[in-house]
Amino acid sequence: MDRLKNPARLMIVSDLDHTMVDHHDVEDLSLLRFNALWESNYRHDSLLVFSTGRSPTLYKELRKEKPMLTPDITIMSVGTEITYGNSMVPDEGWVEYLNQKWDKNIVTEEASKFSELTLQAETEIRPHKVSFYVQKDKAQAVTKALSESIAKRGLDVKIIYSGGMDLDILPQGAGKGQALAYLLKKFKTEGKLPVNTLVCGDSGNDAELFSIPDVHGVMVSNAQEELLHWYAENAKNNPKIIHATERCAAGIIQAIGHFHLGPNISPRDVADFSECSLENVNPGHEMVKFNLFYEKWRRGEIDYNMAYIASLKADCHPSGVFVHPSGVEHSLPDGIKCLPNFYGDKQGKKFRVWVDRVLASQISSDTLLVKFHKWELSDDERRCCLTTAVLTSKGSSIADGYTWVHVHQTWLEGAGAKDQSTWLF
């Protein structure tokens, strides 16, 4: 990734459904805990990769439903599509590689001869993936027979069964594991091989990830039978792979701590904000800390203590400016002074705040320009602002902390508030 000049300190490669995203967690708390940890400690020097069986269509639908971060790399359709950044630019080299000994029409023709297979939705049929549903008790026999019939047609394919019902047919060189191997080889060629890589999964189509040499791996506590069976047969004595005791994203956080890959205490787990600090100060932590305080203040989850407000005001330049997404300009210190009026106004209501894509650039020896997306979920309305902040160091180095000088927000297209007066910061 061009964003990082040096090798990533940590690269997390995670499945989405039932791994990063817990569909049984109605508040999405484990995901929000991971988000806060990543943006405050890792975004600036690490890589986040989502590796999902979902097609681009279903992946984008999930992003609209859940408070997910923007990954640096997205691997979709069971390792058959690799894209980069928020714009999801495809990796053309991977496409060319997968075209070898692959013909989607022949695969579809041979599969149609099996009455046990039900073709999945059109959105799930991709250039290098053909997907079906099959009953669990028939999966093994169908997989064997179908593999033989396709091989007779001169193709080299891979058939993956996962989730107790999904059967995917891919080029032999495809899959989540091969896609990761391809990326690692690419990084190594560029001299940017990550210092550590952690793979995370819950189902059979994630097994390949754990087969890649030299990576750490975590099977979340809710991992499915087919992955646990693979683990028992292939990796039970591998100390680099663990079966977490925590579900989904909480299991990923647990693995970061288990393997000593870096900080593993999410700012969301720190009760006293005066203790929410880092050994190495970075602007990501500053953005997470403020917005998390803002959420908890309005939810009434922290004590009504004016010392918090005094501390925030002290962090603002006396003539600091805040430009509301409506375009109205306010005094930054005066905005902080208004916060007591909103203490607990979201108590007992659905209200969450998270930040995404925190990136900082130094514009002078003591000044940083920080850009990020600030999201709010209020009741069932999701709103987002592109936020730009100018920070200066309080002392001779950034370790002394920051002073907020200027904050400018603009609505992200399609994500503005219906009532702009409800958006405070």
Which tokens is 50 given? 């989502």
Q: State phi, psi for 256 to the nearest 5 degrees.
A: -55, -45
**Rounded to 5 degrees, what angle do the CA atoms 143, 144, 149 make?**
95
pTM: 0.93
d(CA 193, CA 6): 9
Q: Environment class of residue 232 by beta-carbon count within 10 Å: exposed (0-12), middle (13-18) or buried (19+)?
A: exposed
Regarding predicted confidence, which is higher, 347 or 1? Answer: 347
What's the first-to-final CA gap in the chain, in angstroms?
32
Pairing of the two strands 73-76 and 47-51: parallel
Position 53: which residue type? G
Helices 29-41 and 283-299: crossing angle in degrees, nearest 10, is: 150
Q: Helices (DSSP H) in 167-273: which residue ranges?
A: 176-189, 207-210, 225-234, 248-258
**Rounded to 5 degrees, what angle do the CA atoms 225, 227, 231 make?**
115
d(CA 23, CA 27): 10
Position 219: which residue type? M
d(CA 315, CA 404): 6
Can you give the pLDDT at residue 282?
Answer: 83
Is 246's pLDDT higher than 80?
A: yes
Which tokens is 297 given? 């203040």
d(CA 128, CA 81): 8
Residues in contact with 342: Cβ distance below 8 Å, sequence separation at least 6, in sequence order: 297, 298, 424
d(CA 323, CA 321): 7
d(CA 287, CA 159): 45
Phi-psi region of 100 (alpha: psi -120 to 50; beta: other; left: phi over 0): beta
d(CA 160, CA 77): 12
Residues in contact with 335: Cβ distance below 8 Å, sequence separation at least 6, in sequence order: 322, 424, 425
The tens digit of pLDDT for each residue in 250-264 reads 999 999 999 999 999
Mean pLDDT (whole number) for 318-327: 96
The tens digit of pLDDT for each residue in 70-119 reads 999 999 999 999 999 999 999 999 999 999 889 999 999 999 999 999 99
How many of the other CB atoms lie within 10 Å of CB of 408?
A: 17
Position 123: which residue type? T
Mean pLDDT (whole number) for 151-174: 92
Contact assessment for residue 234 and residue 169, using Cβ atoms and an 8 Å cutoff: no
Q: State phi, psi for 53 to the nearest 5 degrees.
A: -80, -15
The tens digit of pLDDT for each residue in 327-351 reads 999 999 999 999 999 999 999 999 9
